[in-house]
A = this chain, B = another copy of it.
Amino acid sequence: MQDGNAFAVSAGGKISGSREKGLNRVLEILEFLHTTQRAIGIGDLAKGVNAPRSTTYTLVRSLVDAGLLELEGDGNRVYFGKKLYLYGMDYVRGNDLLRRGRQEVDNLSRETGETSELCMLQSGRYTIVHASPGTRPFRISSATGLQIPLPWTASGRLLLAGLERAEIEAMVSDDDLVLPDGRKLKLDDFIADIAKARVTGYCVTSGLVDAYTKCLAVPVFSAPGKVEATMCLVVPIDTSEERTASLIGLLRDRAARLSIAG
């Protein structure tokens, strides 16, 4: 008895995890739906989160009854429910920074015609919290809720400003340092970037996420020195020096507004 851990290897050879807490299963389910971004059958859901079918059925039933999930169409697929939307709006209401930040981002993209985003750290990950597409013919990729490795972005460098080296290391995995095109950043360079971004008060990265855009980002402070969020513009990589500088000026101006009461 009590070997402290009930993992076991079944005859088939695959690891059969021990009993999981229902709440954890639910959290996995939600996260899974967040990544799929669409309704999914309950059977597939069980497979997706690697949970027993019977358990998944009971949990989904609870969640549907509670309104956190909704049965889609034929009644076989599930996705997020109205309740989550309502809770999300509650969050927005209780969060001045987010509310005003969204507004500001919408303004920015309308005024400049460029894609504009509000970004935050979300459990240690870089997250696009709100995005507003620009008016350019080719749509620059960006979607609300998208999570991207911190080192790939200008905002990431600002969000980590003020953290200890150890904290940064803890947040950045080796994989995160590998760019989409295969290049690998050096951790020291990244940390140096962060320090630099901190003193300059803005950050520009070129051709990191893709080869055709650069990203201009500025910090939004919730308290002196505490970076709560960033606002950024995603522009074509060949944008002129002058325009870039002017856009950064605009960004800093707007971010300052947010920071005041933030």
Contact = CB atoms under 8 A, between A and B. Distances in A.
Interface of A: 21-24, 26-27, 30, 33-34, 37-39, 59, 62, 65-68, 79-94, 98, 120, 122-123, 127, 129, 144-145
Contact of A120 (B59, B82, B87, B122): B82
B88 A84 contact: yes
A62 B22 contact: no
A88 B144 CA distance: 11
Contacts of A144: 86, 89, 93
Contacts of A94: 37-39, 79-80
Given A67-B123, A82-B127, A84-B87, 17 more contacts: A26-B26, A27-B62, A27-B66, A30-B87, A34-B87, A34-B90, A37-B90, A39-B94, A80-B91, A82-B122, A84-B88, A85-B92, A85-B129, A86-B122, A86-B127, A86-B129, A87-B87
30 contacts: A23-B23, A23-B59, A24-B62, A26-B26, A27-B62, A30-B87, A33-B87, A33-B90, A37-B93, A37-B94, A38-B94, A65-B123, A66-B123, A67-B122, A79-B91, A80-B87, A80-B91, A81-B91, A82-B91, A82-B127, A83-B122, A83-B123, A84-B90, A84-B91, A85-B129, A86-B88, A86-B144, A87-B87, A88-B89, A89-B144
